[in-house]
Structure 1
Amino acid sequence: MISQLSNLLTQTQEKLAAADVFSISEIFDSLVKKPERNAAVVGDLMKICQKVMSTDNETLRLSADANATNALLSNFEDYLDELSPTILKLNSTIFANSTEFTFHPFFDMGVIVLKTSELRVFFVDPEVRNVSGIVNFSGGNMSHFEMLHLSDNEEDIRSMENLESAVFIPEKLWSQLKKKGASYLVFKVYTRDALFVETEEEIKRRPTSNVISITIPGLNDNKLPGKLPFFLRNAKANETQFEGGCGYWNYETWLSDGISTCGVGSLEASSHPVILCHADHLTQFTFLLGVNKMQAGLDTNKEDDHSLDVITNVGLTLSLLGLLMIFITAAVFKSFRTLASTKILLNLCAALGLQLLFFLILSQSHLLEQLEQSESERCTLVGAVMQYLLLVVFSWMFIIGFLQYQRYVRVIGVNHPRHYILMSAVAAWSLPLIPTLLVVSLEPGSYRPNNSSMDYPILCYPSGYGLSLGVILPIGVITVANAILVGYISWSVYTALFKRDLIFKQLGLFVLLFFLLGITWIFGLCTYFDFGRIFAYLFCLTATLQGFVLFLYFIVFNKENQRAWLGLCCNSSKKRNQETIQMPTDSILQGLSHSSTNSTSI
């Protein structure tokens, strides 16, 4: 029956329903209740579990309500644990390798390894060659693992390059365990937490690393006589140092009692790529982080997520169309594109357009999967490009903010250096390479999503210190600086040219600068620091419309551009290209100062 079920599930492309998962758990339960244990079915059991693990989260959540996932997990592990003496004493391979399942015998080491794409089981006999643990490595070759020995040192293991997860029994602890009846070790590594489903409405913490299950057949008591060390990849999400830590599964939720995380809350612990933990009992272990801190500003409200997606996509589309019209206007009218202010504007629009287009393509397609690099390399490439383009946009907004300050506040005595547009372009397009390349070289693993099993899609983007120092810090500084400049400019114009009939024009200048200098990202920073859901809506409503607002002010509301387009469309005989087309901020200021007795020359 198990063999037929395995063939059925591996051959079909249909997705499992919650009822299917429940039926599978019932079949596993019937199998475990039988007194005999057959090693030949282990490969089929693993393929079945792999199929269930690839099921979508909503289906598994419905299955968990009927305790199906817990029952399946418990019965699967119990069956394999009881088979450890049989499997380790096999003289020949009884498992047929397939594309879904592979069998790796290391009889001379006293180790048998069974593996699917997201599940590995290690049977170990320490008495053969003192092997007492395993270490899994990340990277292109996902099958790479090594054996650990009783005499190995914790710090040596922790310093291994590309370590994803590891566990071993120290020699002193093994001597104590043998006195309590231990003979073999069984390690199971789940690369996703799909089978560990919490049914609580509010989930405070969730796994962000491999889940390691440690069992010792023959040991009657799961309480250990000493501390058992295990190692997990640092999740590097947006956590505070005190909210991350190792935990275990109690078949209801994730807990942390009886487990110590070395250096928790310290700078050393948060910066080290590998977390070292110790446990005084046996079960499944993982590295946990607070859900709200893993993706600040995102929650599990699917209706809200859908609304934000719609708002974002509509805003991005409008902005891209607006930016396209700005470029068309510059291409058609020479008098517009030759202005120094227009050249600055076109650089900003180019950076903003590339960023929006890149984001829109990635969010709407599987283009990332078409690249030939490994998954880790693809994530690093895409994440670095997104980080670079965002920083370029903010570099131009900072330059424009400084120029606006000179235009409206200093006014007199402002002399731009020769070739200042070229120098600005070199700085804006090259300086963002520094933080981007630093993150790529020092923390390339930070681009990989650590919680891709969640219901919403996760884009490859920096996390941990790469996010905080390489993205949040520079855009935060620029946003705050530009916000101060906008406030100062608005106040200066208001106090110098205040008239009741000019209020709307002053307001128009403020709105333009608000979007032109990216002040909308203040809402994004508030969302990042989890100040409230309303800021996520404000950010999606305003930041995505930046290109469209620039189009309205620079093209639609600009009278000279209106006449130029009308003249072109109506085949006017007047030569509009002889007219000087001004930046909208210039025309606004001229309108503000037109009736002022103390008008300022710009």
Structure 2
Amino acid sequence: MSYNTMENLLKPDFFNTSNDTIKTMMSTVISATLPKTTNTKLTKPVNFTLKHIREFDPNGSLSCVYWNISEWIVDGCSVLETNSSYTVCSCVHLSTFALILQTSRPSDVREHVRQSDSLLELLNLVCVIVGLVFFSLALLTFALCQWSPGVNNVARINICVSLLLAHLLFLLTQQFLSLIRPHQELCAVISGVLHFLFLSGFVWMFIEAVLLFICVKNLSQISSKKREVLSSGFLCVIGYTVALVVVGVSVGLLPEGYGSEHCWIQRDKGLIWSFLGPVCVILALNMILFISIAISLCLTLTKLNAEVSQMKQTKIMVFKTLAQFVVLGCSWILGFFTNDRKELEILFLILNSQQGTFIFLVYCVFNNEVRQQFRKFFRCLCCGLKPNNIKSVQKKS
């Protein structure tokens, strides 16, 4: 079978090579199968001729490739002969095939790409460090402040814990990758731990979205609802057990899928979907819940009387609603559209490294209860009271 426009979907950029080259699709995408048989092994290689659909550059390097789940790879395929019009490929298996030409980038383009990658790495380092600082500040605030019985912060706390550990481990791994990479077992363990931490972070984002949805829909009954149905222990079981089960099954089914060159899940083994699959489901559900929450808040604002619905309060509510888009992980959807688009890649990097910043702003800086408790705390310090007397002052207040 021949697919005339499939090269627009299965792009040549999915051919991952170590060298920095321009990749061009030189043929249509074709598939070859043996009907009515379960035998996937060939007694001898199959040869097929691919006609060039673009002008051939003799200085380039041609590769016969086949599609393996998420990328083009060469394993088992080779070029037998080629000329300006066609190329003969030989493969030891049947699959979906194509012909990709690699040509060298101009020196000025290579230098520009190298500088761009360096700036992106620096931006990534700065953003992750800033995000880690605000994750820590948010956790410190949650630990120091007294909360009313009707407020359930268990999801926010565990989002901070999971993503703080995940980003910190990932940052340290990339900084010392040259030392870690030779030890394949250590690299595989790190990738498994990262898989668990990031996945648990997404599960907690979904739990937070559910709690917010309940809060918006049932503002008057939220306290009793949370005590009866969504207790902290019950949430912790869900938040970490789901991620643990997914990672455990993945390790049991395909342990060699952990430990890529960047100490992450290997893409060519198919195991990457044990992460992308749950993440896609959670992002889709969180987007639905976020839209429902935003609509409910808009309806609530329109019902407020003129005295309460002030412009300042409205602006804060709009900011909190937009910040929830990042807190609930909805901005991770940008990751599916960042291919070769630096501006989207930078936006994706900034937003998703700053989830801790948005959590700190929404639930600490703009939280009246937190501000009041910090005022009391500093008032006690100014009065020369000891920290253990603060609670009695709060009771009197």
TM-score (norm 1): 0.46
Question: Which residue pairs with 1:476 in the alignment?
Answer: 280
Deviation at 1:314, TM superposition (A): 1.3
With over 3 angstroms needed to count, the CA separation of the structure-2 counterparts of 1:439 and 1:337, relative to structure 1, is farther
With over 3 angstroms needed to count, the CA separation of the structure-2 counterparts of 1:537 and 1:476, relative to structure 1, is same
Question: Which residue pairs with 2:264 in the alignment?
Answer: 460
With over 3 angstroms needed to count, the CA separation of the structure-2 counterparts of 1:448 and 1:354, relative to structure 1, is closer
Question: Which residue pairs with 2:90 in the alignment?
Answer: 259
Deviation at 1:407, TM superposition (A): 0.5
- 1:387 is aligned to 2:195: yes
Contact (CA 8 Å) 2:213, 2:289: kept in 1 or not?
yes
With over 3 angstroms needed to count, the CA separation of the structure-2 counterparts of 1:205 and 1:579, relative to structure 1, is farther
Question: Which residue pairs with 1:353 in the alignment?
Answer: 164
Name the aligned partner's letter for residue 89 of structure 2. G
- 1:407 is aligned to 2:215: yes
Name the aligned partner's letter for residue 255 of structure 2. P
Question: Which structure's relative contact order is higher, taking Cα pairs within 8 Å and 6+ residues apart?
Answer: 2
Name the aligned partner's letter for residue 238 of structure 1. S
Whole-Å separation in 1 of the counterparts to 2:101 and 2:263:
19
With over 3 angstroms needed to count, the CA separation of the structure-2 counterparts of 1:260 and 1:249, relative to structure 1, is closer
- 1:325 is aligned to 2:129: no
Which of these residues, 326, 329, 335, is aligned with residue 524 of structure 1?
Answer: 335
Whole-Å separation in 2 of the counterparts to 1:235 and 1:248:
16
Which of these residues, 114, 121, 124, is aligned with residue 302 of structure 1?
Answer: 114
Contact (CA 8 Å) 2:165, 2:197: kept in 1 or not?
yes
Matches within 5 A, 1:221-370: 238-239=70-71, 246-248=77-79, 257-265=88-96, 301-333=113-145, 335-336=146-147, 340-366=151-177, 369=180
Structure with max Cα Rg: 1
Contact (CA 8 Å) 1:391, 1:475: kept in 2 or not?
yes
Contact (CA 8 Å) 1:244, 1:288: kept in 2 or not?
no
Contact (CA 8 Å) 2:64, 2:100: kept in 1 or not?
yes
Q: Report the RMSD for the aligned CA atoms in angstroms.
A: 4.2
Whole-Å separation in 2 of the counterparts to 1:550 and 1:393:
13
Whole-Å separation in 1 of the counterparts to 2:370 and 2:218:
28
Q: Secondary structure at the match of 1:542?
A: helix
Q: Secondary structure at the match of 2:330?
A: coil
Deviation at 1:403, TM superposition (A): 0.6
Name the aligned partner's letter for residue 425 of structure 1. C
Which of these residues, 530, 550, 568, is aligned with residue 359 of structure 2?
Answer: 550
With over 3 angstroms needed to count, the CA separation of the structure-2 counterparts of 1:516 and 1:505, relative to structure 1, is same
Whole-Å separation in 1 of the counterparts to 2:100 and 2:200:
31
Contact (CA 8 Å) 1:330, 1:337: kept in 2 or not?
no
Q: Secondary structure at the match of 2:88?
A: coil
Structure 1 stretches lacking a partner, 5+ long:
1-55, 62-154, 159-167, 171-197, 208-233, 267-286, 292-298, 453-457, 581-602
With over 3 angstroms needed to count, the CA separation of the structure-2 counterparts of 1:304 and 1:199, relative to structure 1, is farther
Kindly provide the CA deviation profile for residues 5-52 of structure 1, in whole angstroms up to 9, marking residues without a partner as x.
xxxxxxxxxxxxxxxxxxxxxxxxxxxxxxxxxxxxxxxxxxxxxxxx
Whole-Å separation in 1 of the counterparts to 2:276 and 2:178:
26
Deviation at 1:441, TM superposition (A): 2.3
Question: Which residue pairs with 1:486 in the alignment?
Answer: 290
Name the aligned partner's letter for residue 246 of structure 1. C
TM-score (norm 2): 0.67
With over 3 angstroms needed to count, the CA separation of the structure-2 counterparts of 1:248 and 1:468, relative to structure 1, is same
Deviation at 1:500, TM superposition (A): 7.3
Question: Which residue pairs with 1:77 in the alignment?
Answer: none
Deviation at 1:393, TM superposition (A): 0.1
Q: Secondary structure at the match of 1:461?
A: coil
Name the aligned partner's letter for residue 557 of structure 1. F
Kindly provide the CA deviation profile for residues 427-481 of structure 1, in whole angstroms up to 9, marking residues without a partner as x.
11111122222222222233343xx5xxxxx343232464442011111111121
Q: Secondary structure at the match of 2:91?
A: strand
Deviation at 1:346, TM superposition (A): 1.4
Contact (CA 8 Å) 2:69, 2:270: kept in 1 or not?
no
Q: Secondary structure at the match of 1:354?
A: helix
Whole-Å separation in 2 of the counterparts to 1:204 and 1:425:
53
With over 3 angstroms needed to count, the CA separation of the structure-2 counterparts of 1:391 and 1:420, relative to structure 1, is same
Whole-Å separation in 2 of the counterparts to 1:337 and 1:288:
64
Whole-Å separation in 2 of the counterparts to 1:359 and 1:505:
34
With over 3 angstroms needed to count, the CA separation of the structure-2 counterparts of 1:511 and 1:363, relative to structure 1, is same
Whole-Å separation in 2 of the counterparts to 1:245 and 1:447:
23
- 1:565 is aligned to 2:374: yes
Q: Secondary structure at the match of 1:431?
A: helix
Whole-Å separation in 2 of the counterparts to 1:468 and 1:553:
33
Contact (CA 8 Å) 1:520, 1:542: kept in 2 or not?
yes
Kindly provide the CA deviation profile for residues 37-75 of structure 1, in whole angstroms up to 9, marking residues without a partner as x.
xxxxxxxxxxxxxxxxxxx968xx9xxxxxxxxxxxxxx
Contact (CA 8 Å) 2:62, 2:101: kept in 1 or not?
yes
